[in-house]
Amino acid sequence: MPRRKLIAGNWKMNTTRAEAVTLAKAVAAGVGASPACDVAVIPPFPWLVPVADALAGTAVALGAQDVYSETKGAFTGEVSPGMLLEVGCKYTLVGHSERRHVIGETDAATNQKVHAALEAGLHVILCIGETLAERERNLQERVFQRQVYAACAGLTDEQFARLIFAYEPVWAIGTGKVATPELAQEAHKNIRARMGMLYGDNIAAALPILYGGSLTGESAPGLFAQPDIDGGLVGGASLKADAFLKIVAAAG
Protein backbone atom coordinates (compact mmCIF):
# COMPACT_ATOMS: atom_id res chain seq x y z
CA MET A 1 0.00 0.00 0.00
CA PRO A 2 1.49 3.38 -1.01
CA ARG A 3 2.45 5.72 1.81
CA ARG A 4 0.28 8.87 1.83
CA LYS A 5 2.28 12.06 1.80
CA LEU A 6 2.12 14.59 4.64
CA ILE A 7 2.99 18.28 4.44
CA ALA A 8 3.35 19.84 7.90
CA GLY A 9 4.12 23.52 8.47
CA ASN A 10 6.22 24.27 11.55
CA TRP A 11 5.69 27.94 12.37
CA LYS A 12 8.32 27.86 15.15
CA MET A 13 8.29 31.00 17.38
CA ASN A 14 6.57 33.21 14.82
CA THR A 15 3.18 34.91 14.22
CA THR A 16 0.90 36.99 16.37
CA ARG A 17 -2.50 35.56 17.31
CA ALA A 18 -4.20 37.45 14.48
CA GLU A 19 -1.53 36.37 11.97
CA ALA A 20 -1.85 32.74 13.08
CA VAL A 21 -5.62 32.69 12.60
CA THR A 22 -5.39 34.41 9.21
CA LEU A 23 -2.68 32.02 8.04
CA ALA A 24 -4.58 28.94 9.22
CA LYS A 25 -7.75 30.05 7.44
CA ALA A 26 -5.85 30.77 4.22
CA VAL A 27 -4.16 27.36 4.29
CA ALA A 28 -7.48 25.59 4.92
CA ALA A 29 -9.18 27.49 2.10
CA GLY A 30 -6.35 26.71 -0.30
CA VAL A 31 -6.21 23.03 0.61
CA GLY A 32 -9.93 22.45 0.06
CA ALA A 33 -12.09 19.61 1.30
CA SER A 34 -10.27 16.63 -0.22
CA PRO A 35 -6.53 17.23 -0.58
CA ALA A 36 -4.39 14.63 -2.31
CA CYS A 37 -2.06 14.54 0.71
CA ASP A 38 -2.39 15.06 4.45
CA VAL A 39 -1.78 18.63 5.62
CA ALA A 40 -1.04 19.97 9.09
CA VAL A 41 -0.03 23.29 10.64
CA ILE A 42 2.06 23.49 13.81
CA PRO A 43 1.71 26.88 15.52
CA PRO A 44 3.28 28.09 18.78
CA PHE A 45 1.61 26.81 21.95
CA PRO A 46 -0.32 30.03 22.76
CA TRP A 47 -2.10 29.93 19.39
CA LEU A 48 -3.19 26.27 19.43
CA VAL A 49 -6.74 27.05 20.58
CA PRO A 50 -7.51 29.90 18.15
CA VAL A 51 -5.91 27.99 15.28
CA ALA A 52 -7.91 24.88 16.20
CA ASP A 53 -11.07 27.01 16.03
CA ALA A 54 -10.01 28.39 12.64
CA LEU A 55 -9.41 24.87 11.30
CA ALA A 56 -12.63 23.33 12.65
CA GLY A 57 -14.43 21.39 9.94
CA THR A 58 -11.53 21.67 7.46
CA ALA A 59 -9.14 19.08 6.05
CA VAL A 60 -6.11 20.64 7.80
CA ALA A 61 -4.90 18.97 11.00
CA LEU A 62 -3.32 20.66 14.01
CA GLY A 63 0.06 19.84 15.51
CA ALA A 64 2.20 20.97 18.44
CA GLN A 65 5.89 21.86 18.37
CA ASP A 66 6.78 19.79 21.43
CA VAL A 67 5.29 17.70 24.24
CA TYR A 68 6.31 16.64 27.72
CA SER A 69 6.77 13.05 28.86
CA GLU A 70 4.48 13.19 31.92
CA THR A 71 0.69 13.28 32.08
CA LYS A 72 0.45 15.91 34.84
CA GLY A 73 2.29 17.26 37.85
CA ALA A 74 4.77 19.88 39.02
CA PHE A 75 6.46 20.52 35.67
CA THR A 76 6.30 24.27 35.27
CA GLY A 77 6.19 25.41 31.66
CA GLU A 78 5.55 21.98 30.17
CA VAL A 79 2.54 20.71 28.20
CA SER A 80 1.24 17.14 28.47
CA PRO A 81 0.04 14.87 25.64
CA GLY A 82 -3.48 14.94 27.06
CA MET A 83 -3.56 18.73 26.97
CA LEU A 84 -2.57 18.68 23.31
CA LEU A 85 -5.28 16.17 22.48
CA GLU A 86 -7.87 18.22 24.34
CA VAL A 87 -7.19 21.34 22.29
CA GLY A 88 -7.46 19.34 19.06
CA CYS A 89 -3.92 18.30 18.15
CA LYS A 90 -3.43 15.22 16.00
CA TYR A 91 0.36 15.54 15.71
CA THR A 92 3.29 16.61 17.83
CA LEU A 93 6.89 17.17 16.87
CA VAL A 94 9.49 15.38 19.00
CA GLY A 95 13.26 15.76 18.80
CA HIS A 96 13.37 18.75 16.48
CA SER A 97 16.96 19.77 15.77
CA GLU A 98 16.43 23.06 17.60
CA ARG A 99 15.24 21.16 20.68
CA ARG A 100 18.32 18.92 20.46
CA HIS A 101 21.01 21.45 19.55
CA VAL A 102 19.68 24.74 20.99
CA ILE A 103 17.68 23.57 24.01
CA GLY A 104 19.94 20.59 24.72
CA GLU A 105 17.46 17.71 24.76
CA THR A 106 19.00 14.24 24.99
CA ASP A 107 18.16 11.06 23.10
CA ALA A 108 16.77 9.65 26.36
CA ALA A 109 14.37 12.59 26.76
CA THR A 110 13.28 12.17 23.15
CA ASN A 111 12.46 8.51 23.77
CA GLN A 112 10.37 9.39 26.83
CA LYS A 113 8.42 11.98 24.86
CA VAL A 114 7.83 9.59 21.96
CA HIS A 115 6.42 6.97 24.33
CA ALA A 116 4.20 9.43 26.22
CA ALA A 117 2.77 10.98 23.06
CA LEU A 118 2.07 7.67 21.32
CA GLU A 119 0.57 6.12 24.44
CA ALA A 120 -1.82 9.07 24.69
CA GLY A 121 -2.94 8.64 21.07
CA LEU A 122 -1.03 11.41 19.31
CA HIS A 123 0.79 10.92 16.03
CA VAL A 124 4.49 11.73 16.48
CA ILE A 125 6.66 13.44 13.89
CA LEU A 126 10.09 12.36 15.08
CA CYS A 127 12.91 14.56 13.78
CA ILE A 128 16.36 13.11 13.09
CA GLY A 129 19.37 14.35 11.15
CA GLU A 130 23.04 15.15 11.13
CA THR A 131 24.92 18.40 11.69
CA LEU A 132 27.36 19.84 9.16
CA ALA A 133 30.32 18.62 11.24
CA GLU A 134 28.87 15.09 11.36
CA ARG A 135 28.25 15.09 7.63
CA GLU A 136 31.75 16.34 6.84
CA ARG A 137 33.12 13.41 8.88
CA ASN A 138 30.79 11.01 7.02
CA LEU A 139 29.02 10.08 10.26
CA GLN A 140 25.44 10.53 9.07
CA GLU A 141 24.55 6.81 9.03
CA ARG A 142 25.94 6.41 12.55
CA VAL A 143 23.86 9.41 13.65
CA PHE A 144 20.73 7.90 12.07
CA GLN A 145 21.27 4.61 13.89
CA ARG A 146 21.86 6.27 17.26
CA GLN A 147 18.89 8.62 16.99
CA VAL A 148 16.50 6.02 15.58
CA TYR A 149 17.44 3.31 18.06
CA ALA A 150 17.34 5.68 21.03
CA ALA A 151 14.02 7.30 20.11
CA CYS A 152 12.16 4.11 19.15
CA ALA A 153 13.37 1.73 21.85
CA GLY A 154 10.45 -0.14 23.39
CA LEU A 155 7.75 0.81 20.90
CA THR A 156 5.04 -1.67 19.91
CA ASP A 157 3.99 -2.42 16.33
CA GLU A 158 0.74 -0.51 16.93
CA GLN A 159 2.67 2.54 18.08
CA PHE A 160 4.88 2.46 14.99
CA ALA A 161 1.70 2.92 12.93
CA ARG A 162 1.39 6.46 14.38
CA LEU A 163 5.07 7.36 13.99
CA ILE A 164 6.40 9.59 11.22
CA PHE A 165 10.05 10.48 10.68
CA ALA A 166 11.26 13.86 9.50
CA TYR A 167 14.81 13.87 8.16
CA GLU A 168 16.40 17.21 8.97
CA PRO A 169 19.82 17.81 7.48
CA VAL A 170 20.69 20.31 10.22
CA TRP A 171 23.17 22.04 7.94
CA ALA A 172 20.27 22.97 5.61
CA ILE A 173 17.83 24.39 8.18
CA GLY A 174 17.41 28.14 7.94
CA THR A 175 20.40 28.43 5.62
CA GLY A 176 18.55 28.27 2.32
CA LYS A 177 20.65 25.24 1.42
CA VAL A 178 18.73 22.17 0.29
CA ALA A 179 20.05 18.68 -0.11
CA THR A 180 19.77 17.64 -3.74
CA PRO A 181 16.96 15.16 -4.42
CA GLU A 182 19.61 12.48 -4.82
CA LEU A 183 21.30 13.25 -1.49
CA ALA A 184 17.96 13.46 0.30
CA GLN A 185 16.81 10.18 -1.24
CA GLU A 186 20.04 8.49 -0.18
CA ALA A 187 19.49 9.64 3.40
CA HIS A 188 15.84 8.56 3.45
CA LYS A 189 16.74 5.19 1.94
CA ASN A 190 19.42 4.68 4.60
CA ILE A 191 17.00 5.58 7.38
CA ARG A 192 14.43 3.12 6.03
CA ALA A 193 17.08 0.42 5.71
CA ARG A 194 18.18 1.06 9.30
CA MET A 195 14.56 0.74 10.45
CA GLY A 196 14.29 -2.55 8.57
CA MET A 197 17.37 -3.90 10.32
CA LEU A 198 16.11 -2.82 13.74
CA TYR A 199 12.37 -3.41 13.52
CA GLY A 200 11.60 -5.45 10.40
CA ASP A 201 10.82 -4.78 6.76
CA ASN A 202 7.06 -4.35 7.24
CA ILE A 203 7.47 -1.48 9.71
CA ALA A 204 10.20 0.10 7.59
CA ALA A 205 8.12 -0.07 4.40
CA ALA A 206 5.09 1.55 6.04
CA LEU A 207 7.01 4.34 7.81
CA PRO A 208 6.50 7.80 6.30
CA ILE A 209 9.72 9.81 6.13
CA LEU A 210 9.39 13.55 5.52
CA TYR A 211 12.13 15.86 4.27
CA GLY A 212 12.76 18.86 6.51
CA GLY A 213 15.56 21.09 5.27
CA SER A 214 14.60 24.55 3.91
CA LEU A 215 11.93 23.07 1.66
CA THR A 216 10.39 25.42 -0.92
CA GLY A 217 7.85 25.22 -3.71
CA GLU A 218 10.73 25.18 -6.19
CA SER A 219 12.62 22.30 -4.57
CA ALA A 220 9.57 20.26 -3.59
CA PRO A 221 8.69 18.55 -6.91
CA GLY A 222 12.14 17.02 -7.35
CA LEU A 223 12.28 15.88 -3.74
CA PHE A 224 8.77 14.43 -3.68
CA ALA A 225 9.47 12.44 -6.84
CA GLN A 226 11.97 10.32 -4.90
CA PRO A 227 10.67 6.89 -3.81
CA ASP A 228 11.54 7.22 -0.11
CA ILE A 229 10.48 10.85 0.44
CA ASP A 230 6.93 10.99 1.75
CA GLY A 231 6.30 14.71 2.12
CA GLY A 232 7.85 17.56 4.04
CA LEU A 233 8.26 19.31 7.35
CA VAL A 234 8.22 22.92 6.19
CA GLY A 235 9.77 25.80 8.13
CA GLY A 236 10.03 29.33 6.75
CA ALA A 237 7.88 28.66 3.69
CA SER A 238 4.97 27.64 5.94
CA LEU A 239 4.60 31.23 7.21
CA LYS A 240 3.15 32.38 3.88
CA ALA A 241 0.03 30.61 2.70
CA ASP A 242 0.87 30.84 -1.01
CA ALA A 243 4.37 29.42 -0.53
CA PHE A 244 3.09 26.61 1.69
CA LEU A 245 0.25 25.73 -0.67
CA LYS A 246 2.70 25.47 -3.54
CA ILE A 247 4.51 22.76 -1.58
CA VAL A 248 1.20 21.04 -0.82
CA ALA A 249 0.36 21.08 -4.53
CA ALA A 250 3.70 19.44 -5.34
CA ALA A 251 2.80 16.52 -3.08
CA GLY A 252 -0.58 15.92 -4.76
Ligand-binding annotation for 174, yes or no, is yes
Is 111 part of any known ligand binding site?
Answer: no
**Are the beta carbons of 45 and 25 closer than 8 angstroms?**
no
To the question of whether residue 214 is assigned a binding role by annotation, the answer is: yes
Is position 10 annotated in a ligand binding site? yes
Assess contact for 23 and 15: CB atoms under 8 A. yes
Q: Is 24 exposed, middle or buried (0-12, 13-18, 19+ CB in 10 A)?
A: buried
Residue 12 known to bind ligand: yes
Backbone angles phi, psi at 128, to 5 degrees: -135, 160
**11 marked among binding-site residues:** yes
Q: Which of 98, 115, 123, 168 is catalytic?
A: 168
Q: Among the options 96, 115, 123, 188, which is catalytic? A: 96
The DSSP secondary-structure symbol of 234 reads: E
Active-site residue, 186 included: no
Catalytic status, residue 98: no
Closest CA to 170 of 100, 94, 237: 100
- Is 14 labelled a binding residue? no
Of 170, 183, 103, nearest to 130 by C-alpha is 170
**CA 233/CA 249 separation, integer angstroms:** 14
List, as residue ranges, the binding site for substrate: 10-12, 174, 214, 235-236
Catalytic residues: 96, 168
List, as residue ranges, the binding site: 10-12, 174, 214, 235-236
